[in-house]
Amino acid sequence: MLGATGSIGGSTLDVIARHPDRFRASVLTAHSNAAALADLCVRFRPDLAVIADPALEAELARRLAAAGVRCEVASGHEAITAAVTGTLCDTVVAAIVGAAGLDSTLAAARTGKRLLLANKESIVMAGALLLEALAAGGGELIPVDSEHNAIFQCLPGGRPELARSGVRRLILTASGGPFRGRTRAELAGVTPEQACKHPNWVMGRKISVDSATLMNKGLEVIEAHHLFGAPPDRIDVLVHPQSLVHSLVEYVDGSVLAQLGNPDMRTAIAYALAWPERIEAGVLPLDLAATPPLAFQQPDLDTFRCLALAFQALRAGGDATAILNAANEVAVEAFLAGSLPFLGIANLVESVLTELPPQAVVDVQTLNERDRMARDAARRILRNAC
Ligand SMILES: NC(=O)c1ccc[n+]([C@@H]2O[C@H](COP(=O)([O-])OP(=O)(O)OC[C@H]3O[C@@H](n4cnc5c(N)ncnc54)[C@H](OP(=O)(O)O)[C@@H]3O)[C@@H](O)[C@H]2O)c1
């Protein structure tokens, strides 16, 4: 469980705890929250706990010893990658947030283990490389992102070639986030706290801001393109404020298949853990008669420009989506720190995309170098703007 102390981590461990006969969390990782990781170790008794920040390894070991937990302790990103490739696990839940999850996600793909992908930034950065690694490893990738999990459920056999299975369009739904319906003028002064208050989902802060800007939907469009081999023109986004229809697949015969459920990530996680079986996830059944009417509308791309920028980067090809992702991570960090206004996020991403025209994706090293260049450019633009 990579990113055990996060929102997806918590939901995954909740599902695992419901099925002790089927699953055991053998490895737990975190970045810097040693206290939360130690608490999880007390509860889940893994074989190995890894903290990414090496400076905190001693603290983690001390906390575990004090709690009487006898598990191996390690630190650093190499230790996370080693845990993924080692023999302690047969399934990897990739739920680290951001580009920091790329190496471990790629490593999991290469091992041939079942990969439950929540870390969408890794497929946005390195879609082609991730799919190559997956093919070489011979394992399976089950999407955890609720929209892709929904599409996976609505496609025959989960991962077909779209052309041969009669698919006309993939339709990703978006809640619209906390600022749905607002004008640009109304968005000028919104705060991180307002942006992180999602109407339907409880999530980490980075993805919450991405949801508020609709960049999250843009990243998901790119993710859908890679996961399902869908050209950009066959991926649509519809705003659906109730967040009950998690996405849809339109077929050439006029059928539209949708997956519905209460907005709770445990449904997608349980499906991915047990696929092709289904298991209880602790999610309340959907009472359709008691739900508000289901509404759908086109997204406002002029106000929420991040979604348009994501489509633009996908169409541009090469490493443009990695540049988009890196610039967005810096922009969101700055917004959360109070040093960039909400509308500045799209402006910054656009400036970096303009400054760094796309190059062909060669390998992970060049991709990481381009990621670094994009972050440097974003930070320089931010500094100059102050
Ligand atoms: N939350 C959702 O409902 C949801 C839905 C769909 C997809 N996703 C995707 O799932 C991923 C996780 O999202 P989240 O909302 O669970 O995030 P989150 O609550 O912020 O948790 C992030 C996790 O990653 C760890 N982490 C952060 N930086 C790291 C680094 N540099 N190296 C190693 N570990 C690091 C954190 O450890 P610490 O606690 O120690 O910082 C934490 O365990 C994201 O890619 C997100 O887009 C999330």
The answer to whether the CB of 1 is under 6 A from ligand 1 is no
Domain-embedded: residue 2? no
Domain-embedded: residue 302? no
Domain stop point among 143, 158, 185: 143
321 and 337 both lie in a single domain:
yes
Ligand 1 atom closest to the Cα of residue 33 is 40
Ligand 1 atom closest to the Cα of residue 146 is 6
137 and 214 both lie in a single domain:
no
Domain-embedded: residue 307? no
Domain stop point among 107, 128, 143: 143
What tokens were used for 314?
Answer: 């996908």
Q: Over the stretch 253-300, which tens digit does the pLDDT of each residue have?
A: 999 999 999 999 999 999 999 999 999 999 999 999 999 999 999 999
pLDDT at 202: 84
Domain-embedded: residue 1? no
263 and 323 both lie in a single domain:
no
Q: Over the stretch 182-228, which tens digit does the pLDDT of each residue have?
A: 999 999 999 999 999 988 888 999 999 999 999 999 999 999 999 99
Decide if 179 contacts 185 (C-beta within 8 A): no
Q: How many CA atoms lie within 13 A of 196 on its CB side?
A: 12
Q: What is the CA radius of gyration of the chain?
A: 20
Domain containing 160 equals: 150-290
pTM: 0.96
**For position 346, which CATH number holds?**
1.10.1740.10
What is the tally of structural domains in the chain? 3
The Cα–Cα gap between 350 and 357 comes to 11
Q: How close is the Cα of 52 to the center of ligand 1, in Å?
A: 13
Decide if 144 contacts 272 (C-beta within 8 A): yes
Domain-embedded: residue 305? no
pLDDT at 247: 98
278 and 190 both lie in a single domain:
yes
CA 139 to mean position of chain CA atoms: 20
The answer to whether the CB of 150 is under 6 A from ligand 1 is no
Q: Over the stretch 104-147, which tens digit does the pLDDT of each residue have?
A: 999 999 999 999 999 999 999 999 999 999 999 999 999 999 99
133 and 162 both lie in a single domain:
no
